[in-house]
Chain A
Amino acid sequence: MHDAVAAHVHDGDVVALEGFTHLISFAAAHEIIRQKRRNLTLCRLTPDLVADQMIAAGCVSKLVFSWAGNPGVGSLHAFRRAVESSHQAPVTSHRSLELEEYSHFGMVGRFAAGAAGLPFWPLRNYADTDLPGVNSSIRTVTCPFTGDQLAAVPALTPDITIVHAQRADKHGNTQMWGVLGVQKEAAFAAERVVVVVEEVVDESVVRSDPNRTVIPGFIVDAVVHEPWGAHPSNAQGYYDRDNAFYSEWEAISRDAEALKRYLDEFVYGVADRSAYLKKVPALRERLTAKPAMSGEVNYGF
């Protein structure tokens, strides 16, 4: 992971770190924090704890997003401190974090346009909302066939997309299942792609079930083997979401000092992911997934 981040994530990059509550690469985020990357534009539909940690660590200067919260729990307090009026220094009135926000569909459309090599994506949306008024990138376009007025959002083409997945072969042919989010679109939209996986499997495993491949190896720049790399988010079939930690985050992030202590202990204070995992209490006992195997299909002809 160290080498992949060192090679592919640079100061000032537009970084998509995707995963919709599922398969979020906390391992990559922690390595980006350890390597002290700065002025990143972080793109995520749902900047959750991973974004709160990166904002608190000073890595992020701009957030492109559609829902910023702690899913099922509440707020991201480092994010709120960076944005809310009561936390802004009155002398400089300098706002430390720039925001560019859409709805989920808007973000989905941005990644879809980037992935398809189109300049924008049309959607029927945003009439009578205040979102276009605060985001000049939400515009309108007239359909050349029907004359309909549609909303348009610009293509999002990250410098680098990092996704977590269940497994890949050494060529980067990447398979995932469960909630898929926009992982595929975010990968195809990017200049560079890093996949982080629970298991590196033999090519024959991938080729026995090609419909499960979401990202083909030829667009992947690096494959990182990082078991439990999505914790505290989940990896279907490998481990459950650490909902207890998501709940604890409320108190940690509410207190800037407690958040700093968390980063010192669990991010800066460990060399790598395996050292982090040793510090998480009863990880395997609490969270290892119970089996729910699928049936098999016949790919023969």
Chain B
Amino acid sequence: MIAAAANELRDGDVVFVGIGLPSLACNLARATHAPNVVLIYESGTIDTRPSRIPLSIGDPALVTGAAMVAPMTDVFQMILQRGHIDVGFLGAAQIDRAGNINTTVIGPYDNPKVRLPGSGGAADIGAHAKRVLVVMTLDKRAFRERVDFVTTPGKRVRRVITDKCILDRDDEQDELVLSGLFPGVSTADVEAQVGWRLKHATGLREVPPPPAEMLRALRALRTA
């Protein structure tokens, strides 16, 4: 999943990075095929080269050696809203057929079953990044016909990378469709974990396993 997410980045992309799997994927891309990717964390650290995997979005390792550390007013206005972000990388608690993302509540807003952290920068990234990529585990409880709360609109979501498959957003149909299967995964395996009748992209393909050098780089990042 992490290698597949890393493969989405092109060299030179300016990427707004969330913490966790997106952060790992972006650092993997920078260590392999995209050495000139510019990583921007919402804490304001720009073109960061962290020497350890950051636990939090404001980890001090993101500051040391960065090209710039900007106040958050600059990050959200001059960088994100101004249109400088090529790729926004998000996680999600729920995602729906149209690609809408929920990170706010499970159940009704005023009396939630589970209270999640909320938007953070997600709604802002969803409004302004040119391509939004989502990384999350495939699970029927998370892939819903309709999310309980739209934190981040699905319109700019281009691709959802899971541990079993890849979904692409078909803008004409306004919905996520199956475009790639990881080795050994069947369409039935995927459909069992998706809460709507999942359509297949015309070019549905098997995603090749990550090359050995990428796995080596990932191990190196994890032990750094």
Q: A residues touching B (Cβ–Cβ < 8 Å)?
A: 20-22, 45-46, 65-69, 71-73, 75, 79-80, 83-86, 88, 101-105, 108-109, 112, 123-131, 134, 177-182, 184-185, 234, 236, 240-241, 243, 246, 289, 292
Contact = CB atoms under 8 A, between A and B. Distances in A.
17 contacts: A22-B60, A65-B118, A71-B19, A71-B58, A84-B113, A103-B119, A104-B120, A105-B76, A105-B77, A108-B72, A131-B119, A134-B110, A177-B69, A178-B63, A181-B44, A246-B56, A292-B65
Contact of A104 (B60, B64, B121, B149): B121
A130 B151 contact: yes
Interface in B44-80: 44-45, 54-60, 62-65, 69-73, 76-77, 80
Contact of B151 (A73, A88, A105, A131): A131
Contact of B123 (A112, A126, A180): A126
Nearest to B155: A128
Contact of B113 (A20, A85, A104): A85
A84 B58 contact: no
List of 9 A-B pairs having minimum Cβ-Cβ separation, nearest first: A21-B58, A69-B117, A67-B120, A128-B153, A72-B55, A71-B56, A103-B119, A103-B123, A105-B124
A134 B165 CA distance: 34
A125 B127 contact: yes
A148 B166 CA distance: 36
Interface of B: 19-20, 42-45, 54-60, 62-65, 69-73, 76-77, 80-81, 100, 104, 107, 109-124, 126-128, 149-153, 155
A108 B118 contact: no
Contacts, number: 162
A73 B20 CA distance: 10
Give the dominant DSSP class at B's interface: loop
Contacts of A79: 115
Given A71-B57, A128-B155, A130-B151, A181 B109 contact: no
Nearest to B121: A104
A104 B76 contact: yes
Given A103-B123, A109-B76, 6 more contacts: A84-B114, A125-B124, A128-B150, A181-B71, A246-B55, A289-B60
A289 B64 CA distance: 11
A79 to B, nearest CB: 7
Contact of A108 (B19, B76, B109, B123): B76
